[in-house]
Structure 1
Amino acid sequence: MIMEMEKHKLQAAKKYIDSVYESVKQRNAHEPEFLQAVQEIFHSLLPVLVKNPKYKENGILERIVEPERMISFRVPWVDDNGKVRVNRGFRVQFNGTLGPYKGGLRFHPSVNASIIKFLGFEQIFKNALTGQAIGGGKGGADFDPKGKSDAEIMRFTQSFMTELSKYIGSGIDVPAGDIGVGAREIGYMFGQYRRIAGHYDSGVLTGKGIGYGGSLGRTEATGYGLIYFVNEMLKDKGMDFEGQTVVVSGSGNVSIYAIEKAQEYGAKVVACSDSNGYIYDENGICLETLKQLKEVERARICEYINEHPHAKYFEGSQNIWTIPCDIALPCATQNELDKQAAETLVANGVKAVGEGANMPTTHDAAEVFLKNEILYAPGKASNAGGVAVSALEMAQNSSRIAWSLEKVDTELKKIMVDIYRSSVQASEEYGMKGNLVAGANIAGFTKVADAMIVQGVI
Structure 2
Amino acid sequence: MIDEKLEPILAEQERRNAGEPEFHQAVREVLESLGRVVAKHPGYLENALLERICEPERQIIFRIPWVDDGGQVRINRGFRVQFNSALGPYKGGIRFHPSVNLGIIKFLGFEQIFKNALTGLPIGGGKGGSDFNPRGRSDGEIMRFCQSFMTELHRHIGEYTDVPAGDIGVGGREIGYMFGQYKRLTNRYEAGILTGKGLTYGGSRARKEATGFGAAYFVDRMLTHSGSGLEGRRVVVSGSGNVALYTIEKLTAFGGKVVACSDSGGYIVDEDGIDLPLLKEIKEVRRERISEYARRKGSTVQYVEGGSIWDVPCEIAMPSATQNELTGRDARTLVTNGVIAVGEGANMPSTPEAVREFQKGGVLFAPGKAANAGGVATSALEMQQNASRDSWTFEETEDRLAEIMRHIHDTCAETAEEYGDPGNYVLGANIAGFVRVAEAMRALGVI
- Scaled by the length of structure 1, the TM-score of the pair is 0.97
4+ aligned runs moved over 6 Å, structure 1: none
Superposition deviation, residue 169 in structure 1: 0.4
Unpaired runs of at least 5, structure 2: none
Secondary structure class of the residue paired with 1:219 = helix
Secondary structure class of the residue paired with 1:408 = helix
Asked whether 1:176 is paired with 2:195, we answer: no
C-alpha distance after superposition, 1:379-402 (max 9, x if no partner): 000000000000000000000010
Distance 1:223 1:207 in 2: 14
Secondary structure class of the residue paired with 1:407 = helix
Distance 1:426 1:238 in 2: 19
Asked whether 1:95 is paired with 2:84, we answer: yes
C-alpha distance after superposition, 1:264-306 (max 9, x if no partner): 1111100000011101111111001100011101111010012
- Scaled by the length of structure 2, the TM-score of the pair is 0.99
Asked whether 1:228 is paired with 2:217, we answer: yes
- Aligned residue in 2 for 1:64: 53
Secondary structure class of the residue paired with 2:207 = coil
- Aligned residue in 1 for 2:99: 110
Asked whether 1:19 is paired with 2:11, we answer: no
Q: Which structure 2 residues correspond to residues 34-73 of structure 1 after superposition, within 5 A?
A: 34-73=23-62
Secondary structure class of the residue paired with 1:270 = strand
Superposition deviation, residue 240 in structure 1: 1.5
Distance 2:225 2:410 in 1: 11
Superposition deviation, residue 16 in structure 1: 2.4
Superposition deviation, residue 147 in structure 1: 0.2
Q: Is the contact between residue 3 and residue 32 of structure 2 (CA under 8 Å) also seen in structure 1? A: no
- Aligned residue in 1 for 2:132: 143
Pairwise CA RMSD: 0.9
Q: Alignment partner for residue 194 of structure 2, among 182, 188, 205?
A: 205
Q: Alignment partner for residue 314 of structure 1, among 286, 297, 304?
A: 304
Letter in 1 for 2:423: G
Letter in 2 for 1:305: A
- Aligned residue in 1 for 2:69: 80
- Aligned residue in 2 for 1:364: 353
- Aligned residue in 1 for 2:389: 400
Distance 1:374 1:20 in 2: 30
Distance 1:211 1:381 in 2: 30
Q: Alignment partner for residue 242 of structure 2, among 233, 247, 253?
A: 253
Asked whether 1:164 is paired with 2:153, we answer: yes
Secondary structure class of the residue paired with 1:90 = strand
- Aligned residue in 1 for 2:229: 240
Q: Alignment partner for residue 302 of structure 1, among 257, 275, 291?
A: 291
Q: Which structure 2 residues correspond to residues 187-198 of structure 1 after superposition, within 5 A?
A: 187-198=176-187
Distance 1:71 1:351 in 2: 42
Distance 1:425 1:68 in 2: 31
Unpaired runs of at least 5, structure 1: 1-10
Superposition deviation, residue 329 in structure 1: 0.2
Letter in 2 for 1:311: V
Letter in 1 for 2:228: M
Secondary structure class of the residue paired with 1:373 = coil
Secondary structure class of the residue paired with 1:220 = helix
Secondary structure class of the residue paired with 1:75 = strand
Distance 1:129 1:293 in 2: 34
Percentage identity across paired residues of the two chains: 62
C-alpha distance after superposition, 1:73-107 (max 9, x if no partner): 01000000011100000000000000000000000
